[in-house]
């Protein structure tokens, strides 16, 4: 239950279900990361600092009233823009992509912030418009979404770009975007696929997609990752090989064990049982978000909770689908588990805001 703990002079806003589930997930994440990083205590300690800070952040951002976020959502979005621009100017170039901003104590992936800021801003923007959303506001919103998508995809980071695009798209959809519009947009997208394929995908991205559709064409090249991931998961069996016993992970057959493919490590070491336990925690969080969205106090809160929880769900399922080999390889972390401060903090931030939206009641409305 959402709660408002009354002390004499101030209230604490807190959702114990989400808090416990996310804390549990974070601790499991540290535990898995220790094995996935080949028992690298430095990596785990660094991640633990992020987890601790993230939990505090989540708690802190759940305290202000939703009106605070509504008021400052524009500023938040602006701030995110600035970060992205700074990334373009000062960003660290890694593997030909400028995605990270070196803040001295930590490198920030600026696109992780904007995927939170955008749905909040759109919810706030649509707060006092008449719904279902009309054509004019649809186009205004789409221009904004498209611009941000382009900024992120240009880094280039197509995976996060798509999530950012979705984060805005979900809010529009929830705000009643007309089916006819959705249908025609989908039609235009499909028709322009060949053009997009030739002009907007980098060769490595095209290769990933091609390999996905014919994995045997190149067993030791691009499809190596996905083959090894499937072997890791499959060889885990029902019970798993045991903690730190995963040969695929520990003998380096599996790539990116700490980040994109950490789910394969978990599946290898803890088997189908472990997978079910982990997924049920995620499932619980999503169901809880659905409940909170249904009980939100106003349109802004509803749209924000809906939008943010769907961003979370999208990240989760893209990662899972990639690791089990259902979609081509895209760089996408497993929320709260994968190594990486930016993604971790962005989700703590998102859930902090969700809790704020869910726990603050407008007394005057009753």
Question: Which residue, 153 or 322, has its beta carbon nearer to other proteins?
Answer: 322
* CA gap 105, 46 in Å, rounded: 11
Question: Which residue, 322 or 355, has its beta carbon nearer to other proteins?
Answer: 322
Residue 201 CA: distances (Å) to CA of 55, 193, 197: 37, 11, 6
What is the contact mask toward other proteins in residues 47 to 66, using x (rule: CB under 8 A)? --------------------
Peptide bond into 132 cis (omega under 30): yes
* CA gap 265, 336 in Å, rounded: 15
Q: Cβ distance 207 to 196 under 8 Å?
A: no
- In sequence order, the 6+-apart residues with CB closer than 8 A to the CB of 315 are 163, 332, 333, 335, 343
Q: Which ranges constitute the DSSP H helices of the chain?
A: 16-36, 41-61, 66-90, 111-126, 135-153, 158-174, 179-191, 193-200, 203-213, 224-236, 247-250, 262-294, 299-323, 341-359
Q: Which two tokens stand for residue 65?
A: 């009233």
**Is residue 127 at the binding interface for other proteins, with CB under 8 A as the rule?**
no
Q: Which two tokens stand for residue 18?
A: 């989400």
What is the contact mask toward other proteins in residues 255 to 294, using x (rule: CB under 8 A)? ------------x---xx--xx--x---x--x---x--xx
What is the contact mask toward other proteins in residues 223 to 262, using x (rule: CB under 8 A)? -----x-xxxxxxxxx--------xx--xxx---------
| Least distance CB 310 / other proteins (angstroms) | 6
Question: Which residue, 30 or 324, has its beta carbon nearer to other proteins?
Answer: 324
* CA gap 172, 176 in Å, rounded: 7
Question: Which residue, 210 or 320, has its beta carbon nearer to other proteins?
Answer: 320
| Least distance CB 246 / other proteins (angstroms) | 9
Question: Which residue, 228 or 342, has its beta carbon nearer to other proteins?
Answer: 228
What is the contact mask toward other proteins in residues 301 to 340, using x (rule: CB under 8 A)? -xx--x---x--x---x--xx--xxx--------------
Interface residue list for other proteins (CB under 8 A): 131-132, 170, 173-176, 228, 230-238, 247-248, 251-253, 267, 271-272, 275-276, 279, 283, 286, 290, 293-294, 299, 302-303, 306, 310, 313, 317, 320-321, 324-326
């Amino acid at each position: 239950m959402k709660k408002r703990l009354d002390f004499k002079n101030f209230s604490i806003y807190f959702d114990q279900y989400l808090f416990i589930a996310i804390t549990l997930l974070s601790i499991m994440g540290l535990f898995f990361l220790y094995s996935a990083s080949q028992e690298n205590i430095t990596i785990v300690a660094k991640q633990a600092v992020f987890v601790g800070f993230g939990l505090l952040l989540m708690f802190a951002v759940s305290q202000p009233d939703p009106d605070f976020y509504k008021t400052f959502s524009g500023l938040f979005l602006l701030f995110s823009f600035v970060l992205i621009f700074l990334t373009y100017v000062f960003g660290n170039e890694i593997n030909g992509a400028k995605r990270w901003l070196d803040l001295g104590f930590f490198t920030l992936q600026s696109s992780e912030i904007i995927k939170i800021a955008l749905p909040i801003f759109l919810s706030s923007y649509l707060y006092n418009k008449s719904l279902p959303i009309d054509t004019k506001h649809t186009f205004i919103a789409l221009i904004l979404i498209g611009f941000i998508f382009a900024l992120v995809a240009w880094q280039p980071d197509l995976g996060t770009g798509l999530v950012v695009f979705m984060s805005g798209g979900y809010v529009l959809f929830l705000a009643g975007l007309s089916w006819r519009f959705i249908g025609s947009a989908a039609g235009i997208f499909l028709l322009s696929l060949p053009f997009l394929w030739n002009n907007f995908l980098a060769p490595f991205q095209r290769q990933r997609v091609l390999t996905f559709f014919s994995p045997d064409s190149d067993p030791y090249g691009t499809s190596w990752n996905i083959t090894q991931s499937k072997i890791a998961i499959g060889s885990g069996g029902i019970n798993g090989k045991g903690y730190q016993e995963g040969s695929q992970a520990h003998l380096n057959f599996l790539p990116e064990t700490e980040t994109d493919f950490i789910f394969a490590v978990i599946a290898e070491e803890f088997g189908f049982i472990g997978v079910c336990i982990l997924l049920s925690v995620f499932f619980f969080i999503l169901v809880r978000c659905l409940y909170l969205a249904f009980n939100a106090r106003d349109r802004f809160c509803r749209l924000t909770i809906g939008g943010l929880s769907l961003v979370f769900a999208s990240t989760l399922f893209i990662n899972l689908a990639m690791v089990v080999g259902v979609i081509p390889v895209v760089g996408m972390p497993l929320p709260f588990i994968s190594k990486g401060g930016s993604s971790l903090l962005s989700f703590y931030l998102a859930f902090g805001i969700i809790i704020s939206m869910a726990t603050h009641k407008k007394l005057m409305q009753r």
